[in-house]
Amino acid sequence: MPQRYWISNGGRALETFGAYLPQKPAEHLISEHSGGCRELANTAHFHIDLDGNYLPGLCAGLAIQRDDLGSPLSTEKYPLLSRLYAGGIGALFRYATNEFGFVPAAGYALKCHLCYDIRHFLALGEDRRFEELQPEGHYLYG
Ligand code: SF4
Protein backbone atom coordinates (compact mmCIF):
# COMPACT_ATOMS: atom_id res chain seq x y z
CA MET A 1 0.00 0.00 0.00
CA PRO A 2 2.72 2.57 0.79
CA GLN A 3 4.14 1.95 -2.70
CA ARG A 4 0.80 2.67 -4.36
CA TYR A 5 -0.49 5.58 -2.29
CA TRP A 6 1.11 8.58 -0.67
CA ILE A 7 1.01 7.82 3.01
CA SER A 8 2.31 10.26 5.57
CA ASN A 9 4.40 8.15 7.92
CA GLY A 10 3.28 9.79 11.11
CA GLY A 11 0.99 9.00 14.01
CA ARG A 12 -0.80 5.68 13.95
CA ALA A 13 0.16 5.02 10.31
CA LEU A 14 3.57 4.14 11.69
CA GLU A 15 2.05 1.45 13.86
CA THR A 16 0.64 -0.12 10.72
CA PHE A 17 3.48 0.41 8.26
CA GLY A 18 6.55 1.08 10.43
CA ALA A 19 7.40 -2.61 10.80
CA TYR A 20 7.74 -2.96 7.01
CA LEU A 21 10.46 -0.32 6.81
CA PRO A 22 14.15 -0.77 7.74
CA GLN A 23 14.68 -0.20 11.48
CA LYS A 24 17.41 1.82 13.19
CA PRO A 25 18.27 2.17 16.89
CA ALA A 26 16.97 5.30 18.59
CA GLU A 27 20.52 6.65 19.09
CA HIS A 28 21.19 6.30 15.37
CA LEU A 29 18.07 8.28 14.43
CA ILE A 30 18.85 10.93 17.00
CA SER A 31 22.36 11.44 15.62
CA GLU A 32 20.93 11.69 12.09
CA HIS A 33 18.47 14.42 13.17
CA SER A 34 20.35 16.67 15.52
CA GLY A 35 18.42 19.90 14.82
CA GLY A 36 14.98 21.03 15.89
CA CYS A 37 11.86 19.82 14.07
CA ARG A 38 11.21 22.67 11.64
CA GLU A 39 8.32 20.67 10.21
CA LEU A 40 6.33 22.01 13.16
CA ALA A 41 6.46 25.53 11.74
CA ASN A 42 5.23 24.54 8.29
CA THR A 43 1.79 26.05 7.78
CA ALA A 44 1.46 24.99 4.12
CA HIS A 45 -0.68 22.04 5.18
CA PHE A 46 -2.29 21.59 8.55
CA HIS A 47 -5.30 20.09 10.25
CA ILE A 48 -7.75 21.16 12.94
CA ASP A 49 -8.87 18.38 15.23
CA LEU A 50 -12.39 17.66 16.42
CA ASP A 51 -11.84 19.87 19.49
CA GLY A 52 -10.69 22.87 17.43
CA ASN A 53 -6.98 22.42 18.18
CA TYR A 54 -4.36 23.18 15.55
CA LEU A 55 -2.21 20.16 14.57
CA PRO A 56 1.20 21.45 13.48
CA GLY A 57 2.87 20.01 10.40
CA LEU A 58 1.73 16.46 9.87
CA CYS A 59 2.52 15.52 13.44
CA ALA A 60 -0.68 13.74 14.40
CA GLY A 61 -1.26 13.65 18.13
CA LEU A 62 0.40 16.98 18.91
CA ALA A 63 -1.96 19.91 19.34
CA ILE A 64 -1.86 23.66 19.93
CA GLN A 65 -4.93 25.34 21.34
CA ARG A 66 -6.39 27.75 18.82
CA ASP A 67 -6.14 30.71 21.23
CA ASP A 68 -2.39 30.18 21.52
CA LEU A 69 -1.71 30.60 17.81
CA GLY A 70 0.04 33.73 16.60
CA SER A 71 2.32 34.23 19.59
CA PRO A 72 5.32 32.36 21.05
CA LEU A 73 4.28 29.16 22.79
CA SER A 74 4.75 28.87 26.53
CA THR A 75 7.43 26.29 27.35
CA GLU A 76 5.51 25.42 30.53
CA LYS A 77 2.25 24.78 28.74
CA TYR A 78 3.91 23.08 25.76
CA PRO A 79 6.98 21.28 27.13
CA LEU A 80 7.00 18.63 24.41
CA LEU A 81 6.43 20.89 21.43
CA SER A 82 8.97 23.38 22.77
CA ARG A 83 11.61 20.67 23.09
CA LEU A 84 10.85 19.22 19.68
CA TYR A 85 11.09 22.59 17.98
CA ALA A 86 14.24 23.71 19.78
CA GLY A 87 16.16 20.44 20.04
CA GLY A 88 14.35 17.89 17.91
CA ILE A 89 13.79 14.23 18.63
CA GLY A 90 16.96 14.04 20.76
CA ALA A 91 15.60 16.65 23.18
CA LEU A 92 12.29 14.81 23.51
CA PHE A 93 14.11 11.50 23.97
CA ARG A 94 16.33 12.87 26.77
CA TYR A 95 13.34 14.44 28.52
CA ALA A 96 11.33 11.21 28.37
CA THR A 97 14.20 8.95 29.48
CA ASN A 98 15.58 11.22 32.22
CA GLU A 99 12.29 12.44 33.69
CA PHE A 100 9.92 9.54 33.08
CA GLY A 101 12.00 6.42 32.50
CA PHE A 102 11.13 5.85 28.86
CA VAL A 103 12.95 2.82 27.40
CA PRO A 104 13.19 2.69 23.59
CA ALA A 105 12.40 -0.34 21.45
CA ALA A 106 15.18 -2.06 19.53
CA GLY A 107 14.54 -0.07 16.39
CA TYR A 108 12.40 2.52 14.65
CA ALA A 109 11.76 3.30 11.01
CA LEU A 110 11.95 7.09 11.26
CA LYS A 111 12.49 9.82 13.83
CA CYS A 112 8.71 10.35 13.77
CA HIS A 113 8.26 6.68 14.69
CA LEU A 114 10.40 7.18 17.78
CA CYS A 115 8.62 10.47 18.52
CA TYR A 116 5.25 8.75 18.38
CA ASP A 117 6.40 5.92 20.65
CA ILE A 118 7.67 8.43 23.21
CA ARG A 119 4.43 10.44 23.06
CA HIS A 120 2.37 7.28 23.35
CA PHE A 121 4.34 6.35 26.48
CA LEU A 122 3.96 9.85 27.95
CA ALA A 123 0.25 10.08 27.13
CA LEU A 124 -0.64 6.83 28.87
CA GLY A 125 1.26 7.46 32.11
CA GLU A 126 -1.11 7.67 35.07
CA ASP A 127 0.84 10.29 37.00
CA ARG A 128 1.17 12.88 34.27
CA ARG A 129 -0.90 14.81 31.78
CA PHE A 130 0.25 16.76 28.75
CA GLU A 131 -2.35 19.11 27.28
CA GLU A 132 -0.51 19.10 23.97
CA LEU A 133 -1.04 15.36 23.46
CA GLN A 134 -4.45 15.60 21.79
CA PRO A 135 -7.04 14.55 20.84
CA GLU A 136 -7.48 12.53 23.98
CA GLY A 137 -8.49 9.30 22.26
CA HIS A 138 -5.58 9.40 19.83
CA TYR A 139 -3.24 7.48 22.10
CA LEU A 140 -5.72 4.98 23.45
CA TYR A 141 -5.24 2.48 20.63
CA GLY A 142 -2.22 0.62 19.42
S1 SF4 B 1 9.82 13.93 15.14
FE2 SF4 B 1 7.80 14.39 16.03
S3 SF4 B 1 7.60 16.61 16.01
FE4 SF4 B 1 9.32 16.06 14.66
S5 SF4 B 1 8.40 15.97 12.61
FE6 SF4 B 1 8.34 13.89 13.46
S7 SF4 B 1 6.33 13.68 14.46
FE8 SF4 B 1 6.71 15.87 14.10
Residue-wise pLDDT for 5-57, tens only, equals 777 777 778 878 888 889 999 999 999 999 999 999 999 988 898 889 999 98
Neighbours of 77 (CB within 10 A): 14
Residue nearest to atom 1 of ligand 1 (CA): 112
Spell out the domain ranges in the chain: 25-139
Candidate from 29, 47, 78, 115 with most ligand 1 atoms within 8 A of CB, to mutate: 115
Amino acid making up residue 142:
G
How far apart (Å, rounded) are the C-alpha atoms in residues 112 and 98?
Answer: 20
At 93-126, the pLDDT tens digits run 999 999 999 999 999 999 999 999 999 999 998 8
